[in-house]
A and B are shown apart, each in its own frame.
Chain A
């Protein structure tokens, strides 16, 4: 005959207890669904790199040159600059905590006013707490007809060389007339919808 002492954990599950567990699982599933719906409703519709569209920065002839000062586009939150090898568009937001950097023309660096990160002319990280170089936007060159003849390689964000052959060659392959038209009439565009993350520091 079995004794009637109750074991610490009963191994058998009654029908009522089993239904109770089922009920709890259902409740958990329902709560999870409701929570997800709530989060989805609250979540803003933001896509990575989405900003203000394409900015027209004027004719190529007036684009920044090597050794010059970066051109600020406040509404697009970027600079158009030529640090030496061609045009880059540097996102002003510090890669540390999104404060907008200032151009320090005395040291030729970009400086974050919040936590002191410093970036070189080409956006490379020099000092401070930021973990990567300044992000870049895609720079495009369009001919007067609006055809894009060259643009930053989104894979590496390398500076877009504009002096000499690059745009003309690109144009020549598509349009015979474009090779003859002066590249000075070409327009510089910056596509802020495409953001190229900066290279990790050190």
Chain B
């Protein structure tokens, strides 16, 4: 704003302007209406001392943000705004979580049904749950990447060491959030992942069994266990996380700021450029605007992803009497599952992860390298690379196919008619599953509908392979598809073979139910005959 219009004003307009100004000052931490306009127009401050800085003193929300940032610390490729996105996702979790709590019932009898109701009978319920789940998984990724970025730029020097440690604690809290939220839908995935997790707690020296019983609430997870995880998820962890985030962010904002890129601090850079990189940038208005734009873009991206690309998984109702085949940890815990295949829980489930965490927390004190430049940190970067590859390998070992050999007939059924996963017959559209009896070796896959044919051909190939390598001598396989009720078909797979020990014919049979995905319960959970799922979805 370059010039004020100094035309004489009528008493009415003067009082109206004064009223507007008072309202602006009350709402915007002392900034006048003119100042707010100047902010929106990108003009310099209207007064001295700078009323924007005064707002940083008077307003709580602005007080916890720095007044100025060093220009280079705001470069997108320096931080990728990962810390910002972590906080953004935490807020998304809080908001969607509060809405989900309106419907969720934390009892074994009510939990699964309440999720089902949320997904089918509540406006936007399914999107809400999808966003909550998607943002949770993204948050784990973003927090981990945030830590990786801080490591790669060596932004944990000096006073930032303690900030790094609070960051490690926040990483643990994020993982605990994800883990405690895992049990709440009370499906098979949830129940057995948490059974394994609480059994790992048993491996803690001295207090292990008590800790396990505390988490489970009984010898096996039941009503008390579910309630325990629910209260962890909605009360204890949010309180701790808010506290820790406060400490973490306060240090960044008040004590040391965001680190400068290493090349600005110590690289070869012309002095003028360095001066420009170090110059102060006001938070108001440009950085705030930038953050609002990022938040809006991220919100839209989340909602679009939840609407069209992502469905929060929901397996069959938890069955405490039966562990599903191919139980799989969430991707961010696959490395633990891989470790656990190597040994007992005290060593692999407790000692090694704790040691890794301790090592991570101590990184600032172990790294004595004075330089932050990549080319002068070959050892640190190599170790980081090795660690990442190690996590990749362990995660691969954690996948269900590694180290677990199923009996041949069970393995074939699991590929064709999996207990839980949306694969094989479960991935075939409802309309392409004609009622009939299909016999391997007699039915020609070419006569079958296009989506069904490859699945059946795959069955034939696996049966032939098992016969050829002697696992299932004289194997015969039969698939029966029946109309079971409106919008529901039943598939029965029967595999017969002669016992290698000569004990006569043997058979294996599995039955699964296939709901009509185009019906009103479009994204219904997978169901298997062995599970005590809810009765089939009503018409």
Contact = CB atoms under 8 A, between A and B. Distances in A.
Interface of A: 39, 42-44, 46, 48, 50-51, 74-75, 77, 96-102, 104-107, 111-116, 128-131
A113 B200 contact: no
Given A113-B324, A129-B343, A46 B196 contact: no
Contacts of B210: 43
Contacts of B404: 111, 113, 115-116
Nearest to A130: B344
Nearest to A99: B323
Contact of B322 (A50, A97, A100, A116): A100
B265 interface: no
Contacts, number: 92
Interface residues of B, number: 40
Nearest to A131: B344
A107 B408 CA distance: 10
Given A50-B219, A129-B348, 11 more contacts: A74-B321, A97-B196, A97-B349, A99-B195, A104-B410, A105-B407, A107-B407, A114-B323, A115-B341, A128-B341, A129-B341
Contacts of B325: 102, 113
B161 interface: no
Residue among A44, A75, A114, A116 with the highest chain B CB neighbour number at 10 A: A114
Nearest to A75: B321
B192 A114 contact: yes
Contacts of A128: 341, 403
In terms of DSSP, what is the predominant structure of the interface of chain A? loop
A44 B345 contact: no
Nearest to A192: B219
B218 A113 contact: no
Contacts of A42: 214
16 contacts: A44-B216, A46-B213, A46-B216, A77-B321, A97-B340, A99-B323, A104-B407, A105-B506, A106-B506, A111-B405, A113-B324, A114-B192, A114-B337, A115-B341, A129-B341, A129-B348
Nearest to B216: A44
Interface in B159-211: 192, 195-196, 199-200, 209-210
Contact of A100 (B321, B345, B405): B321
B395 to A, nearest CB: 14
Contacts of A106: 407-409, 471, 506
Contacts of B218: 44, 46
Interface in B16-58: none
B340 A43 contact: no
Nearest to A100: B323
A131 B348 CA distance: 12
Nearest to B225: A44
A43 B214 contact: yes
B326 interface: yes
Nearest to A74: B321
Given A46-B218, A50-B219, A97-B199, A115 B407 contact: no
B326 A113 contact: yes
A101 B326 CA distance: 12
Contacts of B324: 113
Contacts of B363: none
Contact of A98 (B195, B326, B408): B195
Contacts of A48: 209
Nearest to A109: B407
A90 B409 CA distance: 24
Contacts of B344: 96, 129-131
A115 B192 CA distance: 12
A119 B213 CA distance: 26
A43 B210 CA distance: 7
Nearest to B324: A113
A75 B220 CA distance: 12
Nearest to B403: A116
Interface string B482-504: 00000000000000000000000
Given A74-B321, A98-B195, A99-B192, A44 B213 contact: yes
A44 B224 contact: yes
B342 interface: yes
A48 B209 CA distance: 9
A40 to B, nearest CB: 10
Contacts of B238: none
B209, B323, B324: most-surrounded residue (chain A CB, <10 A): B323
Contacts of B403: 115-116, 128
B361 interface: no
